[in-house]
Structure 1
Amino acid sequence: MPDTDGPISYFTEDTSVETVLARMGEPENARLAEVMRSVIAHLHAVVKEVEPTYGEWMAAIRFLTETGQMCDAKRQEYILLSDVLGVSMLVDAINTRRPSGATENTVLGPFHVEGAPDLAMGDTISQDGQGEPLVVRGRVVDGDGTPVQGAVIDTWQTSHDGFYDVQQPEQPENNLRGIFRTGADGRFSYRSVKPSFYPIPDDGPVGQLLHGLGRGNIRPAHLHYIVSAPGFETVTTHIFVHDDPYLDSDAVFGVKQSLIREFVRHDDPDRAAEFGVANPFWTVETDFVLTPAA
């Protein structure tokens, strides 16, 4: 018989949480133990609420197994799952609480890559020239509107037909990706192409889940940014096209009102020549407002 100072807690339906938690010893990692106590309590509560059959429970196990098997160096199905359940946005919101007026975060997404090329202001990030020309301009400033010198702007986006370069072998490497650095005036400008709304991958278990729930898998058109500067919090964010039809149904819940920007179409050959783009073309302006690092 086990040596114990009190009555042994054996597993029952009613005492399942208490029994599992009682098996924990002195944790090597207090935070891990804190998190797992909450996970166990909520997981057991879900199981008791929905009362899954053996078949349903095994279907859940298969779903998680297939989600892991879908992951590789270019595809992170678990990030996609976190995104479509709104968990990525919730974790992001908790960790990036900022004062009013500061640029808000949104999801990183699964298609950021390290090593994008460093470019000069005014350069283009479009290596294949496909799509409607777009000129992006703006500033990086602090909460008082003072320009931030030396800010690093890492940007990436889809092609005109809604695919990232890592999704299409025919696109040049690092197509529609670039890194820019602000000068003393905090301003930035570059050329690109107007982004398109696009479907998130639905050929894996996450896509099957979305379809099973009657949900769409479309993300509204946007540009991605990571903006960083010494002494300031790094901002991971998007800007969204103002009239995109999917703003209210973003599959990963990434849209925030403050991140919607007006994309303006121009038919002006002289101005197009000044920017070095074909006519007609689009422009969008956006400022990134940084907050001091904690």
Structure 2
Amino acid sequence: MLDVRRMQVLEAVLAEGSITAAARRLGYTPSAVSQQIAALEREAGLPLLERTARGVRPTQAGQLLGECAAEVGARVGETEALLADLRAGRAGRVSVCYYAGAGAALVAPAVTALRRERPGVQVDLRLTDPADPLPEVREGRADLALVLRAGGPPSEDGLRFTYLLSDAYRVLLPAAHPLAARETVALADLVGEPWVGSAWQGPCTDAVLAVCAASGFRPEFAVRSEDYLTAQAFVAAGLGVSVVPGMGAGPHVRDGVVVRDLGDAGAVRGVYAAVRATSPDHPALTAMLDALLRAASA
């Protein structure tokens, strides 16, 4: 097998035209350079240099190896530049799992900022079920996942969580509803009201259903809807009220619907970013997490 370092010594000899000049350039003795060339000739099985009165010139094999050495040196330089970009977070790839409600509020502004600041970083986005995206991270199919938890920070073996924000629930009411005149509505005020939404337990509803249970009632769902925009349409039609996360309420509210703050302190869910606890230093991932934190603080 050919030694790359010896090939680079040969390249210096060919560039300088003599062993003595190459030794000066490399900081070696002429004897050391000659030894490196002799060893490379044994590896190649052919003579590489022809002595002349004015120095040396390459044989066909020497010319071939010298050209290969130049190509290797160029590739090494390119590789070192790529590694420098990776170390500095100027390049790389990061894969993110997110749930639909976080797309507009967190992921889009974070990716926009990351592309502006680090255009060489590629972000792979995958929409997942908010119920359990953690296997994607734990098994290495994603670098980061956004997760929802009510009642405190999550704890999962092999994963590290970063708190992003608290997403308080809000009430959607028909514009003509008597409670629409209030600035704040409590869940207890909605006892006996027909509800629009999902009755299934999960990260999107756990906090609300728990507070309702603590208040001694369970919502009566007149219309089942998993989609917040569709829920707004049913509320506008007067079919019921709805309690949705703040990010689910969105910046654009349908005509005929008013949004009111929910006065129950426990009706809130935490949004966290999950990464593998054993994940090695990954500047692109760190940059993405920082962008998410800034989007959350905004």
What TM-score results when the alignment is normalised by the length of structure 1? 0.24
Task: Specify the structure having the higher radius of gyration (Cα).
Answer: 2
Q: Which has the higher strand share?
A: 2
Q: Which has the higher helix share?
A: 2
